A and B are shown apart, each in its own frame.
Chain A
């Protein structure tokens, strides 16, 4: 099943059995400078109880994709096409009421910066209780009790006291825990975590990731973990999706992607990641160039201006023809499987150590 094809092609049907199925998703923003193709024909599936890591640089469309799943884009400036099917329910054309009933209830989101993502004007407890009161029809008192229970579950000490605190009275790690408590208060089936650990120091990062895994075990939720940190994702994700310029360029299990990556962009991401065991004097190898403008992405493969392997493909194909990405394990690159393997083993792997 190929999905990264031109929009004229018939969109493949959503996979049966997948809890969340995204097919040929296009998200376009109209701005003063023109139309930004933030997500350009993206497809992926996610099963219950599984964690999908979405990796990519800033502006690669990771967050935009997930805001589209929740239906949080401003319809006046955003054009969304394609299919988003959550447990058999189509979300792209769904009414606001339908989405409101799902948001915070069956699908929830953890945002990156808990300081700005929590309202400074209301207590943590109230903000956690709100979706519970709304979606479960609980009373205010029940909501408060539930908030205390959730705070305890995410490991806030003295939850009965802290429930009446305001977000600014919490530390960064505690705020992030409170965000998680807020997202999980209705036991959502789908949890989207948008760089949940970026603003935190490393020890707290590990705690938060452990917490997410524990909660997944308990509730059986499907998790989408958005990050630009391969280190984070390698700890918790079952599958990985690498995004570049609004498109998926490589997908596979976390193990496959980390041990035998196929796409030059993934190689670049791995090469720019510091390793604990490597020599201090060893240089990191950043990906040359900058991410492309999504107003006018490069023709052909969007990565070709920054790619060091276009000569291997030859014939200028990279600048003309856009490579496809199959739904299973694979990468959107014109290099042959043989070439991918040999380049990785010969030049990339030695550098990664």
Chain B
């Protein structure tokens, strides 16, 4: 297990290096000067030159990349202020250090991701298993077609619709906003319930279909038939034998989904005006804010890589054949 973790962590570092280099060089492929943004209206060539120097843009791109990577671990003293490790630099746009900004935005994204995970696992797996249990029945047909319809619902369409119906016109629910859980759990919940549900629609539909198909597949396994031949009840066979086998594909997809959700749900955060990591990513792209963009990119990539490793570790708990080899 230890060997496995060491090997996977090393692999993850390599992947993150590639992603960071790719993002960095891609940024400079845009024919745009980020210094112009800070330069303002009365921009003289001299001003621009100073800003270039302050932002470190006067170095060649590979050197900039090297300095960026080194400073993550060593920290650096910028003109704008001190930046202790982990130092992802100062934002070009608002002269704030990147790392504290990320940490500041994280709880919003974390609340959104974990909350919607609860919703889509509950409904997605529940309805998927119900459809598999009643395969071929009217219930199955309704659930299967509903999941097909829901999986084509886009957040930027459903989101405003829900807001209009439940918030602006009828005042049934609160306007979505993020209140820290530690500050007021009730407001935290009521402020996020709409984003959770809207973000979950697509996932719920996908998990319904996935749970249904893997359960049906598992129910046809020979060892499931053996369990029935032993006289075990239908429910026991369903939940103990078939369910256990369908965990592997579900956990695989869940790892990928959760990893990318923790990197920020851009459209949802944009639609409901939540200032999480997704919103931060969009803003830093539109403001050509390289350090911030790099910070968000590396953070979300690290999340995806981390969850992939976690998933592989979880496999070992689900399947004893993986555990021992």
The chain A residues found within 8 Å of chain B, CB to CB, are 70, 72, 76, 96, 99-105, 108-109, 111, 113, 116-121, 130-131, 134-135, 166, 168-169, 182
Contact = CB atoms under 8 A, between A and B. Distances in A.
Contacts of B318: 121
Given A76-B136, A117-B225, 20 more contacts: A100-B232, A104-B229, A104-B232, A109-B229, A111-B226, A116-B221, A116-B222, A116-B223, A117-B223, A118-B226, A119-B223, A120-B319, A120-B321, A130-B227, A130-B230, A130-B232, A134-B230, A134-B231, A169-B324, A182-B230
B40 interface: no
B141 interface: no
Interface of B: 135-136, 221-234, 241, 244-245, 318-321, 324
A119 B227 contact: yes
B62 to A, nearest CB: 51
Given A116-B221, A166-B321, A103 B231 contact: yes
Contacts, number: 75
Contacts of A182: 226, 230
A108 B222 contact: no
A101 B226 contact: no
Contacts of A169: 324
Contacts of A130: 227, 230, 232
A119 B228 contact: no
- Name the residue among B227, B233, B241, B244 with the largest chain A CB count within 10 angstroms: B227
Contacts of B228: 72, 103
Nearest to A112: B222
B231 A131 contact: yes
Contact of B321 (A104, A117, A168): A168
A89 B15 CA distance: 66
5 contacts: A96-B234, A104-B229, A118-B223, A134-B232, A182-B230
B231 A119 contact: no
Given A120-B321, A121-B244, A104 B231 contact: yes
A72 B220 CA distance: 12
B54 to A, nearest CB: 60
A72 B225 CA distance: 8
Contact of A131 (B223, B232, B319, B324): B232
Interchain residue pairs A-B with the least CB separation, the first 7: A104-B231, A104-B230, A103-B231, A119-B223, A116-B222, A131-B230, A166-B320
Given A111-B222, A118-B223, A168 B320 contact: yes
Contacts of A118: 223, 226
